[in-house]
Amino acid sequence: MKTFDVEVRVWLKPSVFDPQGHAVEQALHTLGFDGAQNVRIGKYMHLTVTGETEAEARKSVEQMCERVLSNPVMETYAYELKETVV
Amino acid sequence: MREPTPEQIRDERVYRSLGLTDAEYELVVEKLGRLPNYVEAGIFGVLWSEHCSYKSSKVHLRRFPTSGPQVLQGPGENAGVVDIGDGMAVAFKMESHNHPSAVEPYQGAATGVGGILRDIFTMGARPVAFLDSLRFGPLDDGRTRYLFSEVVAGIGGYGNCVGIPTVGGEVQFSPTYRGNPLVNAMCVGILPADGIVRGTATGVGNPVFVVGARTGRDGIHGATFASAEDPEEKERSAVQVGDPFLGKLLMEACLELIASGAVVGIQDMGAAGLTSSSAEMASRAGGGLEMILDRVPVREEGMTPYEMMLSESQERMLVVLERGREHVAFAIFQRYGLEVADIGRVTDDGRLRLIWHGEVVADMPVAALVDEAPVYERPIALPSEPERVDIPASLPAREAWLAVLSHPSVADKRFVYRQYDTMVRAQTVMGPGSDAALVKVPGMDKAIAMATDGNSRYVALNPRRGGQIAVAEAVRNLATAGAKPLAITNCLNFGNPEKPEIMRQLSDAIDGMAEACKALDTPVVSGNVSLYNESRGVDIQPTPVVGAIGVIDGIAKRLQSAPTRERAAAGLDLWLLGREDDSLEGTLYGELVCGRPVGDAPYIDLAEERRLHDLLQAIAGTRAAAAAHDVTEGGVAAAVAEMMIQCGAGGEIDIPAGMSQLGWLFSEAQGRAVVAVLPEGAEDLARLAAAFAVPLRKLGRLVASEKVAVRQAGDMVVEIPLAALRDAYEHAIPMALRAGTAGASA
Amino acid sequence: MKWAVVVFPGSNCDEDAAQAVRETTGDVVDLVWHDATDLSEYDAIILPGGFSYGDYLRSGAIARFSPAVEAVRREAGAGKLVLGICNGFQVLTESHLLPGALLRNNHLQFRCEMVELVVDNNTSPFTRAYQLGERIQIPIAHGEGRFHADPETVEDLRKRGRIAFRYAHSPNGSVADIAGILGEGGNVLGLMPHPERAIVDWMGSVDGRRLFQSMHQYVEEGLADARANA
């Protein structure tokens, strides 16, 4: 059994209005960061998973993302997975 | 890190960093008969802190009246309890969370709400309402806008999630709070009158449990930090984080456990966590406790006994169960998915003994920790005479009216309260925006009335009279809604007690409050003191905040603070109950024109005040009035305008001949209310007012018009569209917050 | 008829909903814990408001996996009435019993106030006691009530009369001002406003009564028909 370190990011799909991102963008402009555009705010999750192989662990993480960690109706996700070095 | 040895604590005066003075440390050594170790010194430090021991205020608090036939539980327990008739009772308490909120406003406010919630349900009461009394600096300051927005969000974040409506409170703004905002949270619960549960650890051999959240390193030294100046300079690690979801589960599980009858005593782990809860429970029982700290569920590895005892992790309770009935608790907590650990037992040797890794790591007499904590008679300055100032009439009536209504302390607070769930539990009869909130007792035609108040300007100008007014205003709110006042709780927010002039304010304000409590038959049944409210050496204005509780039998009798649109449109007369007054002393008008509080505190006579309250209840009983609203900040002008804005009707107001126009409009003389009455109800009203010996004067009338006119002897004083008053009142706070955002871009 | 109100850890409008049903219909209501696996004895099921599982991941996201929601799915498929209020609506969209999703309010604040709704469908089992186009007063109390769905879905909802209630003045930025929608079979309703808070006059509105009465009437008629046919 191997252990993998997983970082998951979840954010709203481009078609969905993100009022938090919008508010932060306005604030950045207010503070003079005029070049700041397209601010989107999402979630970051960190977890470890175990699996016989990396492929198996990846499959498990993808299922988690699709079923629980994100809602495909409004969100999209990405993840990174690395085997932990003991 | 190695903990200092007992000798190092003495020689290097480590005890000072634990909150003990040299004299207090000597006293600890004397009580123990040896040098305290680090754990013991830390425990004495927090329990003898101002926050836990009330050492500066205790001698003065004794002057409050605390008993009466309605009082089922007075001060000294987790909350006070009063009888509301028909076998039901109400538990309530208010508590400050000022310093944590100044550092981390969202979590500070949220954990303040969570803490007071646990104090209520530990009494065996089902929490039914929150009220919050907030004080901030002016909104032209970016930091203040941030604190204000975050505190409100934090209160909502916790209260909305636990499913208890926030039904009232108040927010006031003054430069005095710029560096030191106040967040006072009050919770109210309902219980059967014979169902009070107390925080006592009795029955030798009974098991002691920790339930709820795991213990982490958060909030260590929160209690000592609460009593220290300039919390910003302290580490932010002292901030605790609230978990309302866990708080809700803990509440439901504890109420179920209490209902099972297996609970001997239960207490929230609030300030100073396991230390204060265990010591206080043992102290109330006159016994002792032995706890094995290895069994405390921890969130982090390697926590020391010192850290476990001083942690202020939220959502934890200490419970003493009846021996042999532990399984009842396990079954309940398991169903709610909550952790429960058996950590010790009740003893009869009067000692708090802590065991870790098989060794006794602390062993102290409970009496020394709690009952024999130092009590100080701090020096008190001589009273100062209120200054005599002429208040210039430099602001004309129309401008002053708009300025008063748009002052954030008076202006519409919808921005705040629409972020709170004010209706969950579906028992809210009157919510925020009313003089008093009314929450129905489920299944009965009875409602609890509740209100908070406390105007620091009056207390700053004249502490004793200001103290009287703080109680009178809160209690008057209840009577204005038609309820019978029963009792109060309070938060005494004052500056540094080591300054004799601050002790003068505290002592005098307590005297004034005690006098009002006696006159109005509303004893003090619970409360809290918050001292060291200062920033960079400057103390806040003395701010006693009062939370008042009453009852109304028959909710149809209730008086709204404004008539319905339909009734107003049909035409109602406006009457002033109480003294005719045209003094501007102590008024918001005075502060607006002089830039600071000026003169003496406004007029108050406690006997007149009492008669007004009795009259208002009688009026509610006869349904002679369509609405009643008390006269407070901003005077008659603000009271009338608020009524007009709420019911959407304009009207006509007459200033009596011989009265100063500005004085009559803006005087904040106490003991007064405005009532709206059908023209044919005038006779009934006059009869009642005469019976209670309350002066009565016709103010004018409400009419279905967009115009408001104020006249004196037929001459126009102010003519203004209702919309102008409404804009000033409703837009002030949203505009102040928006202006801030725009200002930052410049 | 018999009603169930499902209680999740963190539900806080469960008692309110049960009380409203009793008050408006006189029917029997059971509060059912989230681990219930069989709800077949009930004619109508309410998923109440609150913060199930703290709503820490997304509102309704964890509740969706509870045994009770599996049971709700089965009963909905069998034509039973399912009403999701506020957090219950969020649970229904997360469970795909209703389309779309409920996002953070566009102004980012929690909002609790009386709002005006427009009745957009008065033929469903939930709305038959209202007039089409009628304006009613029902309170809201939510931080995540902004209904979102792709344009095709919204158009489909509109065409098929599945928008039950619209806001007269949107308090949260919902697409098409949607306050409540019906499932494909018409027997599932999700709505953000709280009808259980508009039952008696001292609450400020009694417009919520007819929603529960509509459900009662619909089920009782069905039961009467079944008896007549038996």
Pairing of strands B524-530, B263-268: unpaired
Candidate list C34, C86, C94, C144, residue with the active-site label: C86
Q: Which pLDDT belongs to residue B270?
A: 78
The ipTM is 0.97
Report the C-alpha gap between B44 and B54 in whole angstroms.
14
Identify the H or E element spanning B738. Answer: helix B722-745
Backbone angles phi, psi at C70, to 5 degrees: -60, -45
Locus of tokens 């406010």: B109
Candidate list C75, C94, C144, C196, residue with the active-site label: C196
pLDDT of B504 > 80? The answer is: yes
Backbone angles phi, psi at C10, to 5 degrees: 100, -10
Q: Which pLDDT belongs to residue B225?
A: 52
B745 CB near a chain A CB, below 8 Å? yes
Report the C-alpha gap between B99 and B88 in whole angstroms.
36
The half-sphere exposure of B425 on its side-chain side, counting CA atoms within 13 A, is 28
Q: Which pLDDT belongs to residue A17?
A: 86
C113 belongs to the catalytic site:
no
The strand pairing partners of C4, in sequence order, are: C30, C45
| Span B363-382, average pLDDT | 96
Per-residue model confidence as pLDDT tens digits over C157-205: 999 999 999 999 999 999 999 999 999 999 999 999 999 999 999 999 9
CA distance B426 to chain C (A): 6
> DSSP of B181-193, one letter per residue?
-EEEEEEEEEEET
Q: Which pLDDT belongs to residue B220?
A: 73
Cα–chain center distance at C10: 17
Per-residue model confidence as pLDDT tens digits over A5-27: 999 999 998 888 888 888 888 88
CA distance B131 to chain A (A): 29
Q: Would you state the structure tokens that stand for residue B493, as one six-digit string?
A: 């927010």
Q: Which pLDDT belongs to residue B223?
A: 52
* Residue A8, domain CATH: 3.30.1280.10
**Torsional class of B76: left (φ above 0), alpha (ψ -120 to 50), beta (otherwise):** left
Q: Which pLDDT belongs to residue B744?
A: 37
Class of domain B559-746: alpha beta
- Residues B27 and B44: beta-carbon distance below 8 Å: no
Residue B611 or B269, more confident: B611
C-chain residues near B336 (CB < 8 A): 9
Burial of B220 (0-12, 13-18, 19+ CB in 10 A): buried
The strand pairing partners of A12, in sequence order, are: A75
- Residues B93 and B187: beta-carbon distance below 8 Å: yes
B741 CB near a chain A CB, below 8 Å? yes
Report the C-alpha gap between B634 and B401 in whole angstroms.
8
Burial of A32 (0-12, 13-18, 19+ CB in 10 A): exposed
Q: Which pLDDT belongs to residue B234?
A: 44
**Torsional class of B406: left (φ above 0), alpha (ψ -120 to 50), beta (otherwise):** alpha
Q: Which pLDDT belongs to residue C100?
A: 97
Q: Which amino acid is at B11?
A: D
Q: Which pLDDT belongs to residue B402?
A: 98
pLDDT of B88 > 90? The answer is: yes
pLDDT of B311 > 60? The answer is: yes
Q: Is the Cα dihedral B223, B226, B227, B231 positive or negative?
A: positive
Model confidence at B746, in pLDDT bands (50, 70, 90)? Answer: very low
> DSSP of B125-163, one letter per residue?
-EEEEEEEEEEE--TTSHHHHHHHHHHHHHHHHHHHHHT
The answer to whether B490 is a known ligand-binding residue is yes
Domain extent at residue A72: 2-83
| Span A57-77, average pLDDT | 93
Question: For C29, which DSSP code?
Answer: E
| Span B192-200, average pLDDT | 92
Report the C-alpha gap between B609 and B181 in whole angstroms.
31
H-assigned helices in chain A = 19-30, 54-64
Report the C-alpha gap between A75 and A62 in whole angstroms.
14
Task: Tell me what percent of chain B is helix, strand and coil, each rounded to the nearest 5.
Answer: 40, 25, 35
Pairing of strands C101-103, C146-148: antiparallel
Long-range Cβ pairs for the range B591-594 (8 Å, 24+) = B591/B457, B592/B395, B592/B400, B592/B403, B592/B404, B592/B407, B593/B391, B593/B392, B593/B394, B593/B395, B594/B389, B594/B391, B594/B392
Model confidence at B216, in pLDDT bands (50, 70, 90)? Answer: confident
Report the C-alpha gap between C85 and A7 in whole angstroms.
34
Model confidence at B740, in pLDDT bands (50, 70, 90)? Answer: low
The answer to whether B284 is a known ligand-binding residue is no
Q: Which of B16-30, B207-221, B478-492, B596-610 has the lowest mean pLDDT?
A: B207-221
The answer to whether B508 is a known ligand-binding residue is no
Q: Which pLDDT belongs to residue B42?
A: 94
Q: Would you state the structure tokens that stand for residue B424, as one six-digit string?
A: 């969950």
pLDDT of B742 > 90? The answer is: no
Residue ranges per structural domain of chain B: 1-66, 197-356, 559-746
For B566, other C-beta atoms within 10 Å of its C-beta total: 9
Give which of B453, B505, B532 is closest to B99, Cα–Cα: B532
Q: Which pLDDT belongs to residue B233?
A: 45
Pairing of strands C111-119, C178-182: unpaired
C216 belongs to the catalytic site:
no
Q: Which pLDDT belongs to residue B198?
A: 86
Number of helices (H), then strands (E), belonging to chain A: the values are 2, 3
H-assigned helices in B391-499 = 397-405, 414-417, 456-461, 463-480
Q: Which amino acid is at C223?
A: L
The strand pairing partners of B89, in sequence order, are: B83, B191
Q: Which pLDDT belongs to residue B745?
A: 33
| Span B487-511, average pLDDT | 98
Which of B156, B337, B423 is closest, CB to CB, to C110?
B156
Cα–chain center distance at C11: 14
Interface residues on B facing C, Cβ-Cβ cutoff 8 A:
153, 156-157, 160-163, 243-246, 248-249, 336-337, 417-426, 428-429, 440, 442, 555
Give the mean pLDDT of chain B. Answer: 94
**Chain A residue with minimal CA distance to C59?**
A71
**Chain B residue with minimal CA distance to A34?**
B745
Same fold, B197-356 and B559-746: yes
Does A73 contact C148 at a Cβ distance shorter than 8 Å? yes
Q: Choose from A8, A66, A73 for mutation: most chain C CBs within 10 A.
A: A73
A-chain residues near B738 (CB < 8 A): none
Per-residue model confidence as pLDDT tens digits over B441-455: 999 999 999 999 999
Per-residue model confidence as pLDDT tens digits over B151-160: 999 999 999 9
CA distance A28 to chain B (A): 10
Does A20 contact C58 at a Cβ distance shorter than 8 Å? no
C-chain residues near B422 (CB < 8 A): 112
Burial of B384 (0-12, 13-18, 19+ CB in 10 A): exposed
For B142, B145, B709, the CA distances from B138, given in Å and listed in that order, are: 9, 8, 31
The answer to whether B515 is a known ligand-binding residue is no
- Residues B707 and B719: beta-carbon distance below 8 Å: yes
C-chain residues near A23 (CB < 8 A): 108
Report the C-alpha gap between B199 and B78 in whole angstroms.
7
* Sheet of B207-212, strands arranged across: B263-268, B316-321, B207-212, B339-347, B288-292, B351-356, B359-365
Report the C-alpha gap between B235 and B104 in whole angstroms.
11
Q: Which pLDDT belongs to residue B389?
A: 85
Does B744 contact A29 at a Cβ distance shorter than 8 Å? no
Q: Would you state the structure tokens that stand for residue C179, as one six-digit string?
A: 């306050």
Task: Tell me what percent of chain A is helix, strand and coil, each rounded to the nearest 5.
Answer: 35, 35, 35
- Please, which residues 12-41 of chain A have a Cβ atom closer than 8 Å to chain C? 12, 15-17, 19-20, 23
Q: Would you state the structure tokens that stand for residue B531, as one six-digit string?
A: 């001292």
A-chain residues near B745 (CB < 8 A): 29-30
B60 belongs to the catalytic site:
no
Q: Which pLDDT belongs to residue B725?
A: 98
The answer to whether B124 is a known ligand-binding residue is no
Per-residue model confidence as pLDDT tens digits over B314-353: 999 999 999 999 999 999 999 999 999 999 999 999 999 9
The answer to whether B60 is a known ligand-binding residue is no
Q: Which amino acid is at B745?
A: S
Total domains, chain A: 1
Task: List Cβ neighbours of C107 (8 Å cut-off, separation of 6 or more).
Answer: A19, C172, C173
Q: Which amino acid is at C114?
A: M
CA distance C4 to chain B (A): 18
Report the C-alpha gap between C31 and C46 in whole angstroms.
10
Which of A16, A23, A68 is closest, CB to CB, to C103?
A16
Say what the pTM is.
0.94
Model confidence at B376, in pLDDT bands (50, 70, 90)? Answer: very high
CATH, domain range C2-229: 3.40.50.880
Report the C-alpha gap between B253 and B340 in whole angstroms.
11
* Domain range B197-356, its CATH number among 3.40.50.300, 1.10.3720.10, 3.90.650.10, 3.90.1300.10: 3.90.650.10
Does C112 contact B420 at a Cβ distance shorter than 8 Å? yes
Which of C53, C56, C141 is closest, CB to CB, to B423?
C141
The answer to whether B118 is a known ligand-binding residue is yes
Report the C-alpha gap between B50 and B516 in whole angstroms.
26
pLDDT of B375 > 80? The answer is: yes
Locus of tokens 């680090």: B38
pLDDT of B232 > 80? The answer is: no
Interface residues on C facing B, Cβ-Cβ cutoff 8 A:
9-10, 12-13, 15-16, 19-20, 49-51, 53-56, 109-113, 139, 141, 143, 194, 196-197, 199, 202-203
pLDDT of C137 > 50? The answer is: yes
Give which of C40, C126, C50 is closest to C76, Cα–Cα: C40
| Span B37-44, average pLDDT | 95
